[in-house]
Amino acid sequence: MTAAGYSVLGVTAVFVVTLAVGAYGWRFSRTTSDFFVASRTVRPGLNASAIGGEYLSAASFLGVAGLVLAFGTEMLWYPVGWTAGYLVLLVLVAAPLRRSGAYTLPDFAESRLESRGVRRLSALLVVAIGWLYLMPQFQGAGLALASTTGTGPWLGGVLVATVVLVNVLFGGMRSITFVQAFQYWLKLTALLFPLLFMAAIWLGDGAVSPASVEVGDVVGSGDSWVSPLAGAEHEVYTTYSIIIATFLGTMGLPHVVVRFYTNPDGAAARRTTLFVLALLGLFYLLPPVYGGLGRLYAPDLVADGRAESVVLELPARMVGGTAGDLLSALTTAGAFAAFLSTSSGLTVAVAGVISQDVMGHRFGGVRAFQAGAVVAVLVPLGLAVLTEGVGVAQAVGLAFAFAASTLCPLLVLGIWWRRLTDVGAIAGMLIGGGCAGGSVLATLLGVGPEGWAGALLAQPAAWTVPLAFLTMVGASLATPRRVPRHAARTMVRLHTPESVQLDRGAPPR
Amino acid sequence: MPPRLPMPGALRWLRRGHLGTEAEQATFRTLHSASLTAPALRGGLTTDSAEHAIRHLRDLLGVPAVALTDTVAMLAWDGRFGHHERDAAALAAIVLESGNTVVRDRADFACSDAGCGLRQVVVSPLVVEDRVVGTLQAFTASASAGLVRAVAEVGRWVSGNLELAELDASRTRLMEAEVRALRAQISPHFIYNSLTAIASFVRTDPEQARELLLEFADFTRYSFSRHGEYTTLAEELRSIERYLVLEKARFGDRLQVTLRVAQEVLPVAVPFLCLQPLVENAVRHGLEHKQGVGTVTIIAADHGGECLISVEDDGVGEDPEKVRRALAGDESVDSVGLGNVDARLRTAFGDDYGLVVETGPGAGTKVIVRVPKFAPGVRP
């Protein structure tokens, strides 16, 4: 059997297992004599695995290794930021968001600011962020399939989109927690297992440092590969911008927020987040090692502009023979688990928002959700085919910057500042979203200027996030009469632990 | 959609007088003012609603000043010469006694202001269910017979709206009373049967009897608890599981129960005791009038922004027409609280979220509940 054959087999296995766990995982039927089903709410550990499974996307699985290979150690800010985003989430958002009872971000906006306008705007933003994030998943799938089996660059995306759509339309994602938790461990295994073999070979070869070799890449010499801030222009600004976008963007991702609803209370939400931090920290140790080994064993990938396929090709190159092909098939399968889980989570979240806020009144409940799912998948698939050539990690980074400039201020100020008004929230989201969105568009279309202006557009978060916060605060202070009527009561509910007995007041109607 | 007019028609429509004669237009204006008043008045007679309504009432009457009072104090004033606000309460007292529309002049509301143009006042009672609840007062320079008639008619119209408001309020009270009743509606049969079943275990299996008694205690505590309007699906299911344990003790292997619950939907907020009646119905229909084993299946599934709950039995089924009547609130139909659950779901989540019942004679019964994961104002 050829290497491509093994890969196809691995990918098929992932698809089948995902469908099977989705269909049968929830069927643990019990009669009442056994135990109380109702007391088995999702435990923080399981929920955290599910969040990890959903969150670790193509950008994490393929992109990080590729970036480290091509641009050096300063790219480690991406995995650091993607993990630390959960630290911010833990400290500022997790428990209050759960206590608000909101399922999606528009729900939170509506219940906190008591305004339909804010709800509609945040729904639009959620859909935009979801699409921006789905697009690179489909692109990544195309890239992965093309690199291992030599098919067209769009086939992988279409395949993943089809499986996700079938799964969602026929109700296969009903036990989504189990499916996603399974995907996390699959992804971890798919990276860790080949790495053990490769590390052994590397040690056998004398444990050469990746920094000691000269590779004709962007970074140039080995020294500049390991030392951050020693290369491209406006390095400091770009780094800080990445940090801000990744730290603050996580809380605005629709599929992450939705999962917090599964926690029974605020304390469980915090515990879940803590577990997520540990699981992500563990996972993100692995991709940079692929990047480093790639410099030694597959340096030509950089010159070819295929750095992102290093995770897929490295095992076959280092181990060789059938064993190498099998290990490469494993990482390919892991990559498809990443595409599948992230796209499923995003599709469910985006479809929920589309069906509720856009087409809820034209179709019935279930129909609206299915129609929403179709729209949620087809638009980014079209975008993915149209905008080839944007790096997976870069596109995901832009989604983060957009989320950090719009929904992060809404969440943070909504939870921690009682004088926020609906006008302020709308103004802040429009300004932040407009600036970040414009920059994203300019980058995706490749029309950005050179020099400082180019750097500002390529990584907009460092200026758009403060701008959005300031606008939101300023516009709220200018409209003090529009502070929601029940703001004080809502704040009490958001910040008081559920175990405390107090009059939370009749909910506003 | 209005029917499309042909071109000449459209031109004619644009010409003056297209909206009817002077008299017709006056009628339209009156009706328009009246329609603007109605929504405020449907909230009942309060300072808030009076202030919203009063401007339109003055438009309607075309007088310099109008006041609305309840039986003891003024609620709202609109118009010029605001110093007469203080007289409104005293004027209201006059009508409270007589119950008729009266005309009063300066003898009853003294005025030292030479420029004050209010010399007469027409006071009309607002009557709800044969009881005077307030007054409508129209101040003017001189009250014509026509104005007196107009004030009396407007007063009657306002009274009509207030009666509707009373109706709304009593409907809400009825709904609350039904929830309380439902809470106390654990059927005497169930209590009797449970205790008998427990008694049968006391000698043979004391440990089992003790367990069942504790379940029974917990079940009644939940059902009678002074609970808020909403609870979580987890709480509701826990109570249902207790109920089913007790029923299983009684029926033994004749009652088969399957619970299939997606963990993700356990935190969803649902109206208190909204599933209990459905399960009780299922157990009754699944076993009564039926030989052999009856199966009750309860499924709660995750579906995007919604949770889908279904309660199904394989019993004798029901005539769909009868279920339709039960859902419409027909008391004579023997179905525990079906209409009540339906009404409460609709009140909480909107008309899209009523009960769906699939049944037919001999075909079992399946009741489907859709609950959104988030609805404004709904939280446990």
pLDDT digits (tens, 9 = 90+) for B40-93: 787 788 887 888 888 888 888 888 888 888 888 888 888 877 777 778 888 888
pLDDT at position B311 is 93
Does A32 have pLDDT greater than 60? Answer: no
pLDDT-based confidence at residue A35 (cuts at 50, 70, 90): very low
On whether the CB atoms of residues A274 and A90 are closer than 8 A, the answer is yes
Cβ within 8 Å, pair B258-A369: no
For residue A303, give the CATH number of its domain: 1.20.1730.10
Does A45 have pLDDT greater than 70? Answer: yes
Cβ within 8 Å, pair A508-B376: yes
Does B3 have pLDDT greater than 80? Answer: no
Q: Higher-confidence residue: B94 or B184?
A: B94
Q: Which of A33-42, A137-146, A415-424, B113-122 has the lowest mean pLDDT?
A: A33-42
Q: Does A101 reach chain B within 8 Å, measured CB to CB? A: yes
Q: Is residue B228 part of a domain?
A: yes
Q: Is residue A136 part of a domain?
A: yes
Q: Is residue B378 part of a domain?
A: no
Cα distance between residue A413 and residue A425, in whole Å: 9
Q: Are residues B190 and B144 in the same domain?
A: no
Residue B284 half-sphere exposure toward CB, CA atoms < 13 A: 14
On whether the CB atoms of residues A112 and A100 are closer than 8 A, the answer is yes
Instruction: Report the pLDDT averaged over residues A256-285.
Output: 91
- Structure tokens, A384: 């993915």
Cα distance between residue B345 and residue B352, in whole Å: 9
Tell me the percentage of chain A whose pLDDT exceeds 90: 31
With CA atoms as reference, report the closest residue to A156 among A138, A171, A179. Answer: A138
Q: Is residue A325 part of a domain?
A: yes
SS3 state of residue A299: coil
Average of per-residue pLDDT values in chain B: 81
State the SS3 of A453-500. HHHHHHCCHHHHHHHHHHHHHHHHHHCHHHCCCCHHHHHHHHHCCCCC
pLDDT at position A178 is 80
Chain A CB contacts of B352 below 8 Å? 364-365
Residue A234 half-sphere exposure toward CB, CA atoms < 13 A: 16
pLDDT-based confidence at residue A463 (cuts at 50, 70, 90): very high
Does A361 have pLDDT greater than 70? Answer: no
Instruction: Report the pLDDT averaged over residues A286-303.
Output: 87
Q: Does A29 reach chain B within 8 Å, measured CB to CB? A: yes
Cα distance between residue B63 and residue B41, in whole Å: 20
Radius of gyration for chain A, computed over Cα atoms and rounded to the nearest angstrom? 23
Q: Is residue A322 part of a domain?
A: yes
Q: Of B108, B142, B172, which residue constitutes the final position of a domain?
A: B172
Number of domains present in the structure of chain B: 2
Looking at residue B155, its amino acid is G
Q: Higher-confidence residue: A262 or B109?
A: A262
On whether the CB atoms of residues A404 and A92 are closer than 8 A, the answer is no
Q: Is residue B335 part of a domain?
A: yes
pLDDT-based confidence at residue A93 (cuts at 50, 70, 90): very high
Cα distance between residue A289 and residue A210, in whole Å: 10
Looking at residue A294, its amino acid is G
Q: Is residue B177 part of a domain?
A: no
Cβ within 8 Å, pair B305-A104: yes
Q: Are residues B102 and B216 in the same domain?
A: no
Chain B stretch 315-374, residues whose beta carbon is closer than 8 A to a beta carbon of chain A: 352, 370, 372-374
- Structure tokens, A345: 């989570």
Burial class (CB within 10 angstroms; exposed 0-12, middle 13-18, buried 19+) of A278: middle
Q: Does B3 reach chain A within 8 Å, measured CB to CB? A: no
Cβ within 8 Å, pair A41-B234: yes
Q: Is residue B353 part of a domain?
A: yes
pTM, 2 dp: 0.77
Q: Are residues B26 and B116 in the same domain?
A: yes
Radius of gyration for chain B, computed over Cα atoms and rounded to the nearest angstrom? 31
pLDDT-based confidence at residue B181 (cuts at 50, 70, 90): low
Q: Are residues B145 and B208 in the same domain?
A: no
Q: Is residue B178 part of a domain?
A: no
Q: Is residue B327 part of a domain?
A: yes
Q: Are residues B208 and B114 in the same domain?
A: no
pLDDT-based confidence at residue A412 (cuts at 50, 70, 90): very high
Q: Higher-confidence residue: A231 or A67?
A: A67
Q: Is residue A382 part of a domain?
A: yes
Q: Are residues B115 and B238 in the same domain?
A: no
Q: Cα distance from A392 to chain B (closest Cα, Å)?
A: 27
ipTM of predicted complex: 0.82
Instruction: Provide the β-strand partners of residue B234.
Output: none
Q: Is residue A492 part of a domain?
A: no
pLDDT at position A421 is 94
Average of per-residue pLDDT values in chain A: 84
CB atoms near residue A29 (< 10 Å): 14
pLDDT-based confidence at residue B25 (cuts at 50, 70, 90): confident
Give the number of beta-carbon pairs within 8 Å between A and B: 111
Q: Higher-confidence residue: A21 or B125?
A: B125
pLDDT at position A38 is 53
Q: Are residues B118 and B219 in the same domain?
A: no
Q: Is residue A80 part of a domain?
A: yes
Tell me the percentage of chain B whose pLDDT exceeds 90: 5
pLDDT at position B368 is 93
pLDDT-based confidence at residue A227 (cuts at 50, 70, 90): low
Q: Are residues B210 and B343 in the same domain?
A: yes
- Structure tokens, A159: 């395949």
pLDDT (tens digit per residue) in A186-217 = 999 999 999 999 999 999 887 777 777 766 55
With CA atoms as reference, report the closest residue to B300 among B348, B346, B258, B345. Answer: B258
Q: Are residues B193 and B225 in the same domain?
A: yes
Cα distance between residue A490 and residue A484, in whole Å: 9
Burial class (CB within 10 angstroms; exposed 0-12, middle 13-18, buried 19+) of A447: exposed
Does B177 have pLDDT greater than 80? Answer: no
pLDDT at position B309 is 93
- Angle, in degrees to the nearest 10, between helices A266-283 and A44-55: 50
Q: Which domain holds residue B159?
A: 17-172
Of A340-349, B113-122, B282-291, give the range with the top mean pLDDT. Answer: A340-349
- Structure tokens, A300: 């030509």
* Cα–Cα separations (whole angstroms), residue B342 to B139, B184, B225, B320: 50, 18, 22, 16
Q: Of B147, B172, B197, which residue constitutes the final position of a domain?
A: B172
Instruction: Report the pLDDT averaged over residues A473-485.
Output: 91
- Structure tokens, B58: 């003055």
Q: Which of A27-41, A376-390, B33-47 has the lowest mean pLDDT?
A: A27-41
Q: Are residues B39 and B98 in the same domain?
A: yes
Q: Is residue A478 part of a domain?
A: no
Q: Is residue A95 part of a domain?
A: yes
Burial class (CB within 10 angstroms; exposed 0-12, middle 13-18, buried 19+) of B130: exposed
Q: Does A312 reach chain B within 8 Å, measured CB to CB? A: no
On whether the CB atoms of residues A137 and A445 are closer than 8 A, the answer is no
Q: Does A363 reach chain B within 8 Å, measured CB to CB? A: no
Q: Of B172, B199, B234, which residue constitutes the final position of a domain?
A: B172
Q: Higher-confidence residue: A312 or B117?
A: A312
pLDDT at position A223 is 65
pLDDT at position A108 is 92
pLDDT-based confidence at residue A247 (cuts at 50, 70, 90): very high
Cβ within 8 Å, pair A38-B237: yes
Q: Are residues B109 and B161 in the same domain?
A: yes
Q: Does A372 reach chain B within 8 Å, measured CB to CB? A: yes
- With tokens 């917090």, the residue in question is A260
Does A295 have pLDDT greater than 80? Answer: yes
Instruction: Provide the β-strand partners of residue B103.
Output: B122
Find all residues with CB under 8 Å of A195, minimum gap 6, and list them. Answer: A286, A289, A290
Cα–Cα–Cα angle for B213, B217, B221, rounded to 5 degrees: 170
Cα distance between residue B225 and residue A88, in whole Å: 40
Q: Could you tell me how many residues make up chain A?
A: 509
Chain B stretch 301-320, residues whose beta carbon is closer than 8 A to a beta carbon of chain A: 301-306, 308
On whether the CB atoms of residues B269 and B232 are closer than 8 A, the answer is yes
pLDDT at position B10 is 46
Does B282 have pLDDT greater than 80? Answer: yes
Chain B CB contacts of A42 below 8 Å? 263-264, 266
Find all residues with CB under 8 Å of A145, minimum gap 6, and list them. Answer: A11, A151, A155, A156, A159
Q: Which domain holds residue A369?
A: 3-22+42-389
Q: Are residues B72 and B203 in the same domain?
A: no
Number of domains present in the structure of chain A: 1
Find all residues with CB under 8 Å of A238, minimum gap 6, and list them. Answer: A232, A455, A458, A459
Chain A stretch 166-195, residues whose beta carbon is closer than 8 A to a beta carbon of chain B: 171, 174-177
Q: Is residue B3 part of a domain?
A: no
Cα distance between residue B147 and residue A283, in whole Å: 84
pLDDT-based confidence at residue B183 (cuts at 50, 70, 90): low
- Structure tokens, B91: 């004027």
